[in-house]
Amino acid sequence: MLAFILKQFGLNYQHCTVQQFDSGLINKTWKIQTQYKSYILQKINNHIFKKPRDIDENLCMLKHYLLEQFPDYLFVAPIASLNGETLITTTDGYFRLFNFVEGSHTINYVKTPGEAFEAARQFGKFSRLLSGFDAEKLAYPLPNFHNLNLRYTQFIEACTNASISRLNQAKECINFIEAHHDILNTFNQIKNNKLIHNRVVHHDTKISNVLFNDSDKGLCVIDLDTVMPGIYISDVGDMVRTYLSPANEEEADLSKIFIRKDFFKAIYKGYYSEMGSALTKAEKDLFIYSGHFIIYMQAIRFLSDFLNNDIYYGAKYLNHNLNRANNQITLLKEYLAVNEDLEAIIQNTEEELKDSNLFKIK
Ligand code: GN1
Ligand code: MG
């Protein structure tokens, strides 16, 4: 199949080196190297992304807008086949090819506040450059993706349908989720607040979705399938979820999960250096809440998947999704415990930013 796909782009499989990537839970990704240049080939998981053409059209619209308004911005969009198609449809699914950005690399763990700053800045830049683009023109490749209300309803359904044994094993997690229902209440208030805008939001801001150059400066963001209208807390929240703890969502030893507060400051500075002047006061007030929102939602998603016999994320070992849920719950507890410190960090950083010239970089 790969040979057939590559042929659509004028590439000969026999002359390519193909290497499969293991990152990401949803799509399949390969690096393709020819004698002259390298590419990234991706197969869209169309059990999850039911309308791959929506993704393709979204990326096409954004590409044109950015090319016209900000021609220097590095936007990694799918490249056209010899027939001019950016999405190749086969009996085996949907594929697209990207140019590999030479001199770039990705990282899987955030080791320094500098990396967190760079990543946050890139995600902020992405939303800022697109703040003049009418977000509502975009399709929703995953409708209700970050709709916490729906995720909660799905969780209740999963509890209703789960086997007794899985329910028993998940008891403590279920109690925690129910006890923190206030996070859902806040989300519902946000949805009704006209001062909190729908923007072009990435919706998957993990560190491996940022390209870095050789001097570890952020170059751009990638993995744009979930780009759609949304609230900025989705992006900041997922950075908080995935950058603050030295141990990631796969860690089963919960004692390794804790909050690196200097990394929170780095996210704040990086994101604000781009989006600080675009966000309303009502939006800014949600900066810390963004972590509650996304960590809680991810805990619910892993837990629901465990209760549903791992049909969404899959499981590499017994109780994998239960461990992931417990991991996220621990992270949320740790995050809630340092709330006051985070408030103080925001206040101090606000002062620093006023004095620095970060805001002036536009
Ligand atoms: C999925 O496929 P990947 O790893 O980029 C998921 C995210 C979750 C993440 C958790 C479409 O992202 O929402 O946060 O796993 N994407 C989808 O690791 O469900
Ligand atoms: Mg993704």
Measured CA to CA, the distance from residue 101 to residue 139 in angstroms comes to 27
223 in a structural domain = yes
pLDDT at residue 358 in the model:
56
DSSP 8-state class, residue 255: G
Number of Cβ within 10 Å of residue 77's Cβ equals 18
Per DSSP, the three-state class of 35 is coil
In the structure, which protein residues have their CB atom closer than 6 angstroms to any atom of ligand 1? 24-26, 48, 204, 226, 249, 298
For a pocket test of ligand 1, which of 25, 243, 310 has the largest count of ligand atoms closer than 8 A to its C-beta?
25
361 in a structural domain = no
For a pocket test of ligand 1, which of 146, 206, 304 has the largest count of ligand atoms closer than 8 A to its C-beta?
206
Number of Cβ within 10 Å of residue 91's Cβ equals 5
Same domain flag for 312 and 184: yes
Same domain flag for 144 and 118: yes
Q: How far is the CA of 83 from the centre of ligand 1 (A)?
A: 31
pLDDT at residue 98 in the model:
97
Q: Strands 93-99 and 88-90: what pairing?
A: antiparallel
106 in a structural domain = no
Final residue of a structural domain among 52, 69, 99: 99
Same domain flag for 6 and 79: yes
Same domain flag for 212 and 63: no
Domain of 35 in residue numbering reads as 2-99
Residue 196's CATH number: 3.90.1200.10
Q: How far is the CA of 2 from the centre of ligand 2 (A)?
A: 21
Q: How far is the CA of 195 from the centre of ligand 1 (A)?
A: 28
207 in a structural domain = yes
Q: Which of 126, 127, 99 is nearest to 33 (CA)?
A: 99
pLDDT at residue 356 in the model:
73
What are residue 28's DSSP bridge partners? 43
Per-residue pLDDT of the chain (362 residues; tens, 9 = 90+): 899 999 999 999 999 999 998 766 778 999 999 999 999 999 999 999 999 999 999 999 999 999 999 999 999 999 999 999 999 999 999 999 999 999 999 999 999 999 999 999 999 999 999 999 999 999 999 999 999 999 999 999 999 999 999 999 999 999 999 999 999 999 999 999 999 999 999 999 999 999 999 999 999 999 999 999 999 999 999 999 999 999 999 999 999 999 999 999 999 999 999 999 999 999 999 999 999 999 999 999 999 999 999 999 999 999 999 999 999 999 999 999 999 999 999 999 988 877 776 554 44
Same domain flag for 128 and 87: no
**Could you tell me the sign of the dihedral formed by the alpha carbons of 11, 17, 18, 19, in that order?**
negative
Measured CA to CA, the distance from residue 270 to residue 299 in angstroms comes to 26
Q: Are 30 and 19 in contact (CB under 8 A)?
A: yes
Residue 94's CATH number: 3.30.200.20
Same domain flag for 54 and 140: no
Residues comprising the chain, all counted: 362
Same domain flag for 84 and 121: no
Q: Which of 152, 150, 164 is nearest to 303 (CA)?
A: 152
Alpha-helical (H) ranges within the chain are 2-8, 52-69, 113-129, 148-161, 164-169, 171-179, 182-191, 233-243, 261-275, 281-284, 287-307, 320-337, 339-355
Final residue of a structural domain among 64, 99, 134: 99
Closest residue by Cα to atom 19, ligand 1, is 26
Same domain flag for 90 and 188: no
Q: How far is the CA of 48 from the centre of ligand 2 (A)?
A: 11
Same domain flag for 253 and 167: yes
Q: How far is the CA of 214 from the centre of ligand 2 (A)?
A: 24
- What does each C-alpha distance from 154 to 22, 49, 97, 142, 143 come to in angstroms? 28, 18, 34, 15, 14
Structure tokens at 289: 């809440």
Mention every residue, 6+ apart, whose C-beta is less than 8 A from residue 152.
Answer: 184, 300
* Total domains present in the chain: 2
In terms of Cβ atoms closer than 10 Å to its own Cβ (0-12, 13-18, 19+), residue 124 is buried
pLDDT at residue 200 in the model:
98
Q: Which atom of ligand 1 is nearest to the CA of 203?
A: 13
- What does each C-alpha distance from 124 to 38, 55, 167, 233, 276 come to in angstroms? 28, 21, 40, 11, 9
Same domain flag for 120 and 263: yes
362 in a structural domain = no
Same domain flag for 41 and 122: no
